[in-house]
């Protein structure tokens, strides 16, 4: 590693100064200042602020809206990269005239008449279709196609307008989705993976099954169910508020799946003690005993809960006939069974045995003339021969009955009750 050598600085003798010390420094001559350029004087009408400039430009420049277009201006301008000439770019010539409006109204009137032939709605041909009120809003689905059945509707159901305009509606028998064309229905049947209602199967007896579906968990399915039920129920008013209800779906089972046959619904927390809100059996499945089967099933659940139940009032005409027939059969069977063990039968005992309310038991006995007044109180007068004949005729028809041993169900709300059966056949709670 080599060290850098430094050149020695010569030392001057005493009394002599170094040359660089005696030399006088050169005076720096100051640079001449640049002469400012003469700025032109501002004109009197020149704006001094940006706002004044903007105001001046808007006042001085002619407005584009007010300026009339001349042929020279249109020809000099370029429209859509010179793809359109001035004549083609002028939109003022395309304003609809009176003749155009007449042709448009005539076309709409012809389309409305053609649609009315399909939907069956009345149309006022004298009123132009472009004015409101030309076509009546009374659209109605006349038929539904569910499974292999094509069923006529009884009442108007509030389906969306785009579906109500079609006289035939297609409904999947598994997921209850409604469609307005046969092509969409066929494609849906090929893709639908659901083969049973989206709930718990709580009862099965042979080919008959009952599913419990919660309206809060399966909202779309229950809404579709209510819309279809409104076609056959005149007194039904709720279609979309399904969360407070439980739905019990009756199905027929085969190799393809569980086919819809009917249903009934009930409130989860009924203040009046109703065990059934509405019941509907498809017209294609009626006259097979399914209505009374679901009614008996609703009372079986009431007995499992330890309470007495009653259907929601008012009942429809068909519902009232079905309930009176079931009440008569249930009360007669209890009177015939308990009467063999004890000579005295109370209304409370019949109510607890059947799951019916006391009012329904009294109504059934009064209708058949079996409740007579004796002094201050009332007594049940039983015609044993009449009851035995009625029960024998009912058994000869071989109606569908519920087997309570095949029920797999826990109540939604439990009640702390203790049921004790006595020797005379009476029940005390």
> What residues are labeled active site?
312
Tokens of 105: 């109204």
Angle between helices 317-339 and 384-396 (to 10 degrees): 120
Of 191, 121, 176, 192, nearest in space to 144 by CA: 176
Alpha carbon distance 316, 235 (integer Å): 7
What is the DSSP code string of 319-383? HHHHHHHHHHHHHHHHHHHHHTT-S---HHHHHHHH-B-HHHHHHHHHHTT-EEEETTEEEE---
> How distant, in Å, are the alpha carbons of 154, 292, 295, 368, 395 from that of 327?
27, 10, 10, 11, 15
Q: Of all helices (H) and strands (E), which one includes residue 86? A: helix 86-89
Residue 413: φ, ψ to 5°: -125, 125
Tokens 């430009």: give the residue: 57
Residue 426: φ, ψ to 5°: -80, 160
Of 262, 261, 226, nearest in space to 243 by CA: 226
Alpha carbon distance 250, 247 (integer Å): 10
For residue 245, list its beta bridge partners.
267
Burial class for 407, CB neighbours closer than 10 Å (0-12, 13-18, 19+): middle
Burial class for 28, CB neighbours closer than 10 Å (0-12, 13-18, 19+): exposed
Residues 6+ apart with CB under 8 A from 251: 196, 197, 208, 209, 210, 211, 258, 259, 260, 261
Contact 158, 203 (CB under 8 A): no
Alpha carbon distance 191, 181 (integer Å): 16
């Amino acid at each position: 590693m080599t060290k850098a050598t430094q050149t020695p600085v010569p030392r001057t003798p005493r009394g002599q100064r170094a040359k660089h010390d005696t030399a006088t420094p050169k005076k720096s001559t100051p640079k001449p200042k640049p002469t400012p350029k003469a700025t032109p004087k501002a004109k009197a009408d020149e704006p001094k602020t940006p706002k004044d400039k903007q105001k001046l430009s808007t006042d001085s420049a002619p407005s584009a809206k007010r300026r009339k277009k001349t042929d020279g201006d249109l020809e000099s301008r370029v429209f859509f990269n010179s793809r359109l000439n001035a004549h083609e770019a002028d939109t003022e010539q395309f304003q609809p005239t009176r003749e155009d409006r007449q042709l448009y109204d005539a076309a709409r009137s012809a389309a409305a008449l053609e649609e009315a032939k399909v939907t069956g709605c009345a149309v006022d041909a004298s009123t132009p279709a472009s004015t409101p009120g030309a076509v009546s809003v009374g659209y109605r689905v006349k038929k539904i196609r569910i499974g292999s059945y094509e069923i006529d509707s009884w009442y108007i159901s509030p389906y969306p307008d785009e579906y109500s305009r079609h006289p035939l509606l297609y409904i999947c028998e598994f997921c209850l989705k409604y469609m307005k064309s046969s092509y969409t229905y066929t494609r849906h049947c090929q893709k639908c993976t659901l083969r049973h209602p989206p709930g718990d199967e709580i009862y099965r007896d042979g080919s008959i099954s009952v599913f419990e579906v919660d309206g809060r968990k399966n909202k779309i399915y229950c809404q579709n169910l209510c819309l279809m039920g409104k076609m056959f129920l005149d007194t039904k008013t709720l279609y979309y508020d399904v969360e407070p209800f439980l739905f019990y779906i009756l199905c027929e089972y085969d190799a393809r799946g569980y086919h819809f046959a009917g249903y009934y619904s009930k409130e989860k927390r009924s203040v009046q003690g109703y065990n059934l809100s509405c019941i509907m059996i498809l017209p294609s499945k009626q006259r097979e005993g399914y209505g009374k089967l679901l009614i008996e099933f609703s009372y079986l659940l009431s007995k499992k809960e330890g309470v007495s139940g009653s259907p929601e009032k008012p009942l429809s005409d068909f519902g009232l006939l079905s309930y009176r027939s079931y009440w008569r059969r249930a009360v007669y069977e209890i009177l015939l069974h308990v009467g063999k063990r004890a000579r005295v039968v109370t209304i409370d005992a019949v109510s607890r045995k059947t799951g019916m309310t006391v009012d329904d038991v009294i109504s059934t006995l009064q209708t058949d003339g079996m409740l007579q007044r004796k002094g201050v109180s009332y007594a049940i007068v039983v015609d044993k021969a009449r009851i035995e004949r009625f029960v024998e005729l009912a058994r000869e028809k071989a109606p569908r009955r519920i087997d309570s041993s095949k029920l797999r169900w826990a109540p939604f709300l439990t009640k702390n009750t203790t049921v004790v059966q006595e020797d005379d056949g009476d029940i005390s709670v």
